[in-house]
Structure 1
Amino acid sequence: MIRLIRVLLLSIHFFISSFIGLLIGIVRPFHPTNSRWCAAIYSSLAMPILGIKREVEGWDILDQSRPCIVVANHQSNWDLFIVGGAVPDRTVSLGKKSLKLLPIFGQLYWLAGNVLIDRGNPHKAKEAMEITKQALTQKNTSIWIFPEGTRNQGKNLLPFKKGAFITAINAGVPIVPVCCSSYLDHFSLGQLNNGVAKIKVLPAVSTQGLKQKDAAQLMHTIEADMLRTIQALDGKAAPSADSVDNQA
């Protein structure tokens, strides 16, 4: 019964939130703060519906490091609700071009100013990377990227791809790692309390003075730091009915 009620409430919430987000995009298309507003709308009601709470550590690092490239672990589609509430102002994400084809949400995602890339077309992908660089260097906009390239289903980290790190080096902006605990370990639509998702923002990593040949080492260093942090968060992320949402 809990599962059925949740699915119904989430469906209604997703439709209404998507409609509101689409209106925001139509009124001020491609504004870099649209993405933050839409993520907050999705997250605000979805969290209590899902029965999961969120604790964020290091929120101020994101504000102090703009513009930057944010790299985060990607567990599931639930990240939209759980991690979405931690998206800072003037931050857009990098997503697959195919997202634009999804009814309502795809158009919302596009109008929110997010960068869409065609991963199957190297020329188009390179073009998108140039747009990303311009957003970072000319528009004071940060880019949120999932460097794994796909969902890991909460099973540690998948190998990172170098695109985010090459782009950060080319633009001369720092990289800010955002780590979320493996909330899927305790998550079920059929249980009332789904515990706490712990999010920790790590100190910004400078790319000043680095060359493209340094991208692989930079990637591996950040990947290792994020894996250690996620494992540490998992040690503290057991379900708790008394946990408080400390999001700023």
Structure 2
Amino acid sequence: MLFLLRMLAMGVHFILAGTLGLLLGICRPFNPDNSRLCARLYSVPAQWLLRWRLKADAKGLLEHQRSCVIIANHQSNYDLYVLGRVVPERTVSIGKKSLKWVPFFGQLYWLSGNVLLDRGNAASAKQSMLTTTETLRNKDTSIWVFVEGTRNLGKGLLPFKKGAFQMAIAAGVPIIPVCVSTYINHIQLNRWDSGEIMIRSLPAIPTEGLSQDDLPQLVETCRQQMQQCIEEMDQQISQRA
């Protein structure tokens, strides 16, 4: 019963947050800070409704003063509500072009200046990546990428897509990994206190001076660091359960 009530409340919240976000986007379309503000619109009330205990250690991410590529693991659609609290200023994300057609959210996503990637069109996808690299270089804007390319459903990190790393190397900007504990199989939304989730940002990994020949090692380094961090957070939560 509690689960159904929560889902009903979340449905209403999704529509209200989308409406407010659309108004913000219409008033200042494509402003790169719209994403941060809209992420808060979705995440802050959701945390109260879903009653999970969110512990975020993301000071390094939030205080970073220059453009960067932020890479994060992706478990479920709830990531919008989990990670919305730690989206830094002037940060946009890369998403599938199909998101544009999701009522309220899709139009808001587009007006917030996020990058819509048509993965089925190689030429269009390449052009979008080139434009995004130029944004990193010259527009004091960071890019958030779910580096696995799809949801892992809490089954462990999937292989990383290379696009985020290629952009970071081409623009000469650092990569900041953001890790979320494995929550999707442990959060119990039919209970008043639904569980604990941890977020941790890792130290920035420089790419200045690297070439595309360094790409495999860079990908592996980031993946190993994120895997270790997620395992440590999962163990901490397990010990407190």
Q: TM-score range by the shorter chain?
A: over 0.9
The superposition leaves residues 113-135 of structure 1 with CA deviations (integer Å, 9 ceiling, x where unpaired) of 10111111111111111111121
Structure 2 unpaired stretches of 5+: none
Conserved in 1, the CA contact under 8 Å of 2:187 and 2:196?
A: no
The superposition leaves residues 133-186 of structure 1 with CA deviations (integer Å, 9 ceiling, x where unpaired) of 121111100000011000001111001011100110000000000000011232
Equivalent residue, structure 2, for 1:194: 194
Equivalent residue, structure 1, for 2:177: 177
CA distance in 2, matches of 1:147, 1:121: 19
Equivalent residue, structure 2, for 1:131: 131
Give 1:142's aligned amino acid.
S
Equivalent residue, structure 2, for 1:110: 110
Partner secondary structure for residue 44 of structure 1? helix
Conserved in 1, the CA contact under 8 Å of 2:91 and 2:141?
A: yes
Give 2:220's aligned amino acid.
H
Q: Does residue 8 of structure 1 match 2:40?
A: no
Q: Give TM-score scaled by structure 2 length.
A: 0.96
Q: Does residue 156 of structure 1 match 2:184?
A: no
Structure 1 unpaired stretches of 5+: 242-248
Partner secondary structure for residue 183 of structure 1? coil
CA distance in 1, matches of 2:189, 2:239: 14
CA distance in 2, matches of 1:97, 1:145: 14
How many residue pairs align between the two structures? 241
Cα deviation, residue 21, structure 1: 0.3
CA distance in 1, matches of 2:87, 2:237: 21
Conserved in 2, the CA contact under 8 Å of 1:195 and 1:239?
A: no
CA distance in 2, matches of 1:201, 1:123: 33
Q: Give TM-score scaled by structure 1 length.
A: 0.94
Give 1:236's aligned amino acid.
Q
Equivalent residue, structure 1, for 2:72: 72
Equivalent residue, structure 2, for 1:88: 88
CA distance in 2, matches of 1:111, 1:167: 22
Equivalent residue, structure 1, for 2:222: 222
Conserved in 1, the CA contact under 8 Å of 2:9 and 2:49?
A: yes
Equivalent residue, structure 1, for 2:25: 25
Partner secondary structure for residue 80 of structure 1? helix
Give 1:170's aligned amino acid.
A
CA distance in 2, matches of 1:16, 1:168: 35
